[in-house]
Amino acid sequence: MNAIVSNLLTNYADSGPSEAPVVLMLHGWGSSIGAFQDLADRLQPKTRVVRLDFPGFGGTQMPPASWRIEDYALFTRAFLDKLGVEQPWAIIAHSFGGRVTLKAAGEGIIMPHRIILMGSAGVRHAQSVRNQAFKIVAKTGKAVTALPGLGVLRSKLRQRLYQAAGSTDYLNAGPLRQIFLNTIDEDLQASAAHIAAPTTLIWGENDTEAPVADGRLLKETIPHAQLRIIPGAGHFVFHDAPEDVARLIGKALER
C-alpha cells in the first residue's frame, strides 16, 4: 500500500481485522516491512498489524534532509494520523525501529499501551569506540580516496578502510550516511527513562550489534520493563527463534 505522509510517498502494509487493536511494527536499519512478514502472520488473527517502511528504506522515498531520530518519530506520528490511528495498542520494533520508539514514546510523540523492543539500538556508550571509528573513517576515508591518481582503486580502497574499522553499516548506508552518523551520535537513555508503557525487551544471547548489556541497561532505565534473553539467537532474534519471540510477544500484548 502507498500513502503520502509528510510529502513523502510511503510504503506500508495494513492487515488483520480492522476493528482489532493496532500493532505497529517498525523495522531496523537497512531493512523493510518484509522482515516482519512471518511475525505479522502469527499476530494477525487477533490484531490489526500495521508495518511501515521508514523514509529511505524499502518502498518509501528518501528524507528531504539529513534527518535525526526525532524526525523519524514525528514522521511515524504523521503516518498514524494518516491512518486515523490515535494511539496504537502496541509498538513492536527492532534495532533502529527501537531507537525511533524510544524517542517517540519517551517524548510523548506516540503513546502506545504496550512496547516490545527486539535488539533495540539507542544506548550510545556500549558502542562508543565503534561509533568513533565510523566517524573517523568517514572523514579519513574521504580524504584518502580523494588523492589524485587512485582512479579505479578509489572504490576498493574506501571499502577496505570502512571494513577495517568494522563500519560496513556506514559503507552500505549510501545516501543515508549522514543520517546514519546522526543516528549513532544520539543517546536515548534520557528518553527511555520517561516511557510509561509496560515494555518487553527481547534480546538474542549472541547479539553483536546491540549487545545484551544494552538490554540490561534499558531494563534498568525504562520504569516498567522486563528483559527476556533467548539463548543461541543473534541480532535478528525474531528470525532465529520465531516461535519463542511470538510467544513472548503474545504474553506482552495480553498484559
Best CA proximity match to 13, nearest among 62, 202, 43, 29:
43
Q: Residue 149: its pLDDT value, please?
A: 54
The predicted structure's pLDDT at residue 254? 86
pLDDT of residue 174: 66
Phi and psi, residue 215, nearest 5°: -60, -40
CB 157 within 8 A of CB 41: no
* Domains of the chain, CATH where assigned: 2-124+187-254 (3.40.50.1820), 127-180 (no CATH)
The distance from CA 51 to its chain's CA centroid, rounded to whole angstroms, is 12
The pLDDT of residue 137 is: 47
Smallest CA-to-CA distance from 23 within 46, 47, 2 is with 47
**What single-letter amino acid sits at 82?**
K
State the pTM of this model: 0.84
Q: What are phi and psi of 63, to 5 degrees?
A: -60, 150
CB 81 within 8 A of CB 165: no
Rounded to whole angstroms, how far apart are CA atoms 198 and 133?
35
Q: What is the pLDDT of residue 194?
A: 98
Q: How many residues does the chain have?
A: 255
Task: Identify the pLDDT of residue 233.
Answer: 98
DSSP string, 7-27: TEEEEEEEES-TTSPEEEEE-
CB 75 within 8 Å of CB 55: yes
Half-sphere exposure of 177 (CA within 13 A, CB side): 15
Degrees, nearest 5: CA angle 119-15-250: 45
Per-residue pLDDT of the chain (255 residues; tens, 9 = 90+): 999 999 999 999 999 999 999 999 999 999 999 999 999 999 988 899 999 999 999 999 999 999 999 999 999 999 999 999 999 999 999 999 999 999 999 999 999 999 999 999 999 864 444 545 555 445 554 544 445 555 555 555 444 544 443 444 544 566 899 999 999 989 999 999 999 999 999 999 999 999 999 999 999 999 999 999 999 999 999 999 999 999 999 999 986
pLDDT score for 173? 63
